[in-house]
Amino acid sequence: MLELDRVNTFRGPAHVLRNVSLVVGDAKATCLVGRNGAGKTTTIDSIMGLLAPRSGRITYNGRDITRLPAHERARLGIGYAPEDAGIFPDLTVAENFEIGRSLAAQAKPGADQTGERVFAVFPEVRELLGRRGLNLSGGQKKMVAIARAMLLSPSVLLLDEPLEGLAPVVVDRFIEAVTKIKAMGVSLLIAESNLMNATRVADRLYAIDRGEIIFEGDPRAVFQNEEVLKTLRG
């Protein structure tokens, strides 16, 4: 579905990603786990087209999208919910969705204009439609950001730190939502700092440190690798 092959990305003069390779499978949740500053967000930004890799290749459904603009990647079916949620604070949730619908209609004619898939994953969002973004809790903002991304009817959904700062009961709710999203045939790449949360949600796990992949495989296997655990726990 989605593959990075030896991707090197810079932020200004800083060489952040160093030969990063990973694969996101069909209707699977792939987690990229690492400490703050390890390169998770830079990986997501490189896939979404918000940062241009200096070298390497990114392919989506067999197509090279390494140099494709971000809006073209969205049109192909790559959804994105940023770490800060990106909710317009002075607009209601319904108005935030309306902007998403408008852009989705332009980018992808087959997008979900009714929002039924959104409400199937997050039924509680219906109760938030009249609330301004400014008055949402952190968890609600993350929920709305994911819901807005799903209006594009993506094949792949990129989630940057969706579980960060959430209470355990809210984390459980988001993990349930990920299961529902996968059941709809959507693949996910989730950047996550908390190893335990990552292993709860992931079908496949990658660990990154200082811009390099240091582990790849079954999430349960990471607990047998003391060196990787030591690195992730700082």
Q: What letter does residue 92 receive in the DSSP assignment?
A: B
Amino acid at 47: I
**Euclidean distance between CA atoms 65 and 57, whole angstroms:** 8
Q: Which tens digit of pLDDT belongs to each residue from 167-225?
A: 888 899 999 999 999 999 999 999 999 999 999 999 999 999 999 999 999 999 999 99
Give the CA distances from residue 92 to residues 121, 137, 198, in Å, rounded to whole numbers and listed in that order: 20, 13, 31
**Euclidean distance between CA atoms 230 and 234, whole angstroms:** 6
Tokens of 192: 């996550």
- Domains in the chain: ranges and CATH: 2-86+155-233 (3.40.50.300)
- Tell me the residue length of the chain: 234
Regarding pTM above 0.75, the answer is: yes
Q: Which tens digit of pLDDT belongs to each residue from 26-85?
A: 889 999 999 999 999 999 999 999 999 999 999 999 999 999 999 899 888 899 999 988
